[in-house]
Amino acid sequence: MDNLGNTRVTASIGGSDNGDQLSFDLEPSNVQIEPGRAVFVRARLKPREIIWFGSKQERPYALAVQRSGVDPQSVEGTFVQRGFLPGWLATVLGMTLALAIAFVVIWLSYKPDVRSLATEQMTEVGAGKIPAPSPALSPPASEAPEAPPAGVPAPPAVTEPEQAGGAGNGEGAGAGGGGSGEKETEAPERTAAAAVLRLAAEDPGGRHICYRVYAAGQGWTDAVCDGETAGAAGSGTPLKAVNIAVSGTKGTSGGAFVPDPASTKGEGHFPDPWTNAADGIDNYVGSTEEDAPDLMGFTVNVDGGRGAVCQSTYVHDDAWLSLACDEPGTGYDFTYAGTHDNALWIEAVRLTV
| Pair 283, 351: CB distance under 8 Å | no
Q: What is the rounded CA–CA span in Å between residue 196 and residue 223?
A: 9
Q: What is the rounded CA–CA span in Å between residue 175 and residue 85?
A: 71
Cα–Cα nearest to 214, from 148, 147, 298, 158: 298
Q: How many domains is the chain built from?
A: 2
3-class SS of residue 322:
coil
- Report pTM: 0.48
Q: What is the rounded CA–CA span in Å between residue 213 and residue 231?
A: 6
pLDDT of residue 352: 95
Q: Judge whether residue 24 has pLDDT over 50.
A: yes
Question: Does residue 112 lie in a domain region?
Answer: no
Residue 337 sits in the same domain as residue 199: yes
- The pLDDT tens digits for 207-261 are 999 999 999 999 999 999 999 999 999 999 999 999 999 999 999 999 999 999 8
| Pair 307, 328: CB distance under 8 Å | yes
pLDDT of residue 184: 60
Residue 344 sits in the same domain as residue 216: yes
- The pLDDT tens digits for 295-332 are 999 999 999 889 999 999 999 998 899 998 988 877 77
- The pLDDT tens digits for 143-198 are 444 444 444 344 444 444 444 344 344 444 344 444 444 556 666 788 999 999 99
Cα–Cα nearest to 212, from 193, 197, 198: 193
| Pair 352, 310: CB distance under 8 Å | yes
- The pLDDT tens digits for 160-171 are 444 434 434 444
- The domain in which residue 301 lies consists of 192-352
- The pLDDT tens digits for 61-96 are 888 887 777 778 788 888 787 776 776 777 888 899
Question: Does residue 209 lie in a domain region?
Answer: yes
pLDDT of residue 144: 44
Question: How large is the C-alpha radius of gyration of the chain?
Answer: 47
Residue 344 sits in the same domain as residue 209: yes
| Pair 10, 65: CB distance under 8 Å | no
| Pair 294, 338: CB distance under 8 Å | no
Domain's final residue, options 81, 111, 142: 81
Residue type, 48: R
Give the other-Cβ count within 10 Å of 233's Cβ. Answer: 17
Domain's final residue, options 46, 81, 116: 81
| Cα torsion angle, 212, 213, 218, 220, sign | positive
- The pLDDT tens digits for 105-135 are 998 888 777 666 666 665 554 444 444 444 4
Question: Does residue 53 lie in a domain region?
Answer: yes
Domain's final residue, options 22, 46, 81: 81
- The pLDDT tens digits for 263-295 are 888 899 999 999 999 999 999 999 999 899 999
User: Please, where are the H alpha helices in 181-274?
Assistant: 192-202
Element (H, E) at 177: helix 165-180
Q: What is the rounded CA–CA span in Å between residue 212 and residue 223?
A: 5
Residue 204 sits in the same domain as residue 74: no
| Pair 23, 61: CB distance under 8 Å | no
